[in-house]
A and B are shown apart, each in its own frame.
Chain A
Amino acid sequence: MQPILCIDFGSTFTKVTAIDIDVPRIIGRTQSFTTIHDDINIGLQKALDQLEELTGISDWPVRLACSSAAGGLKMIAIGLVPQLTMEAAKRAALSAGAKLLKTYSFELNDREIREIETLKPDILLLTGGIDGGNQKVIFHNAHKLCELNMRCPIIYAGNKTIANDIETILKKNHWDATIADNVMPTLNQLNIDSARACIRKVFLDHIVVAKGLTQVQRCIDNILMPTPSAVLLAAELLSKGYLSEPGVGELIIVDVGGATTDVHSVADGAPRQSNVVMRGLQEPFVKRTVEGDLGARYSLQALVDGVGIDVVASVINTSQEVVMQMLKDLVAHPESFMEEPGLLKTLDDVAAEIAVRESVTRHAGYLEVHYTPFGTIYQQTGKDLSYVSHVIGTGGPLIHHSNIRSALKASQADPKNPLSLKPNHARFYLDHQYILAAMGLLSLKYPSAALKLMKETIIEV
């Protein structure tokens, strides 16, 4: 037996997963409340004590960890045109597993500077201009950022022509600045690998320290990445496979949480028909989007407001007043997932289903129709996910859902909205043991074991 421990310091729970890499096999999984305010080790130790009861193992020679505790990796992304460099910067931040607090475009003004000060990001990402393109706005924004009354690591990933000048300005003004490749070097070309690598490095070098997570460093090898980043790694591995072990092909992972819903797609997404022309910024093969108004707890109010409280009331067959009271109760107890059947449980289930439907609709691309004398021509914006074969659900509200298949089916294409490019004939799966983040961590050293375990553990529903 060769035991390995994977730790996920979440905002609410610290989850530990034990794997015997020799078989490979998951030998245990426990969790305890995250104790970020005192010593994060207290919560970890509690989870480990439970794990010892389960497995009889107390000594874990290899410990891998990811974290979204203390608000996750909080970033602000700045670009020039909203649909172009700002969108590219946003994708770079999300693909690095960040929690995007806010994005800005064009010239920053005083109000926005004050707003950034109150948002207190961990990292700033400054972009704008294709290579050889706009300089004026980027210089303005670099100077403007120097007026902030705070400093944090800043990454510049804009027009390369002025990269040196921007670096000089920032460093002179006491910024800890890193220069990365332009996120959009030529028009509509997405180039986020370098920026993502820089974000990752800054996370390792600074953020773990800044978040008071250093105490854990003595007992684990390192906090290797933000949790969403681990899920992305797992998604990519499960889709593509490793060496002779094939992957499952194109997939979508929907992670419904208390505050947000994350959607990860691993899919080409290019147009499938000859009369469809792609428009806009290039789409990444591995894409992550986050919906801040679609959580099943902290953002439940926004979610219900989005579809209308009357609609929710009629779906669960009660009055609007009752729904409002239930919203209050649920928001007050974010950590409890309803197991008992009843109205609260129904509301919980409905919320999760709405989160799946809305988040996948926003993540997927869409078509616009142009009628010409020569026939119908379509323009596609975003990824075509109609051919995706696997939709995988994860996160508490889905894992505890009373009708998971129907919840995940909400990700399917809707005949009433044929221009939305959601999956047409996918099969549905559930990460019922909550292992995706752990498998992402494991895949750093043991990709084939992680792949096998995912294929075994994630069940069709």
Chain B
Amino acid sequence: MSSHTIVLGVIGADVHAVGNKILHYAYSQAGFNVVNLGVMVSQEEFIQAAIEADAKTMIVSSLYGHGELDCRGLRDKCIEAGLEKIKLYVGGNLVVGKTPFEEVQKKFLEMGFDRVYPPGSDPALSILDLEKDLGN
């Protein structure tokens, strides 16, 4: 199957490491070439990695509630860096508290993300989406 490269990481000052390991495993098993940046990853590091690795997708996790702040501007920076076609996926516990997911989703889509996942989403869902989006 695909040997598409994806860049994976937990954005911002977020140290929740367990989900990241599970995602790494899941995407590798599905045949993707995973460049895992681990936890505490800045927007710049995501972009630099995507350029060197020629990645088609960035998978961004945010678990600690500051996702909106950390993710803002990522799409713009990607465009600036020549990555205008890259797919941006985001998931985890994106905001603090119990904001309805539809609102959260709308916000992140407006920020330029291609797909937004609710808390505790099964990675398998996103793998199906990846295959659709990358045309396999």
Contacts and interface: CB of A to CB of B under 8 A. Distances in A.
Q: Do A and B come from one complex?
A: yes
A129 B54 contact: yes
Given A187-B35, A277-B40, A372-B64, A132 B5 contact: yes
14 contacts: A80-B51, A81-B48, A81-B52, A130-B52, A132-B33, A134-B54, A184-B52, A186-B35, A187-B53, A279-B40, A370-B13, A372-B13, A372-B15, A374-B64
Nearest to A158: B52
A84 B47 CA distance: 11
A133 B39 CA distance: 22
Interface in A178-198: 184, 186-187
Contacts of B37: 187
A379 B54 CA distance: 26
B45 interface: yes
A contacts with B: majority SS: loop
B49 interface: yes
A459 interface: no
A2 interface: no
Nearest to A135: B54
Greatest chain A CB density within 10 A among B3, B15, B51 is at B51
A186 B7 CA distance: 12
Contact of B51 (A81, A186, A279, A377): A81
A215 interface: no
Interface residues of A, number: 24
Nearest to B39: A277
Interface string A350-367: 000000000000000000
A187 B54 contact: no
A270 to B, nearest CB: 15
Given A81-B51, A187-B53, A379 B40 contact: yes
Interface of A: 80-81, 83-85, 128-130, 132-136, 184, 186-187, 277, 279-280, 370, 372, 374, 377, 379
A116 B25 CA distance: 45
B52 A187 contact: yes
Contacts of B52: 80-81, 84-85, 128-130, 133-134, 184, 187
Nearest to B42: A279
Nearest to A372: B13
A377 B15 contact: yes
Interface string B24-63: 0000000001010101101011001101111000000000
A377 B53 contact: no
Given A132-B53, A187-B49, 8 more contacts: A81-B52, A83-B44, A83-B48, A84-B49, A132-B5, A134-B52, A277-B40, A374-B64
B94 to A, nearest CB: 16
A130 B15 contact: no
A277 B39 CA distance: 9
Contacts of B5: 132-133
Nearest to B82: A106
A377 B54 contact: no
B28 to A, nearest CB: 13
Nearest to A132: B33
Greatest chain B CB density within 10 A among A133, A186, A277 is at A133
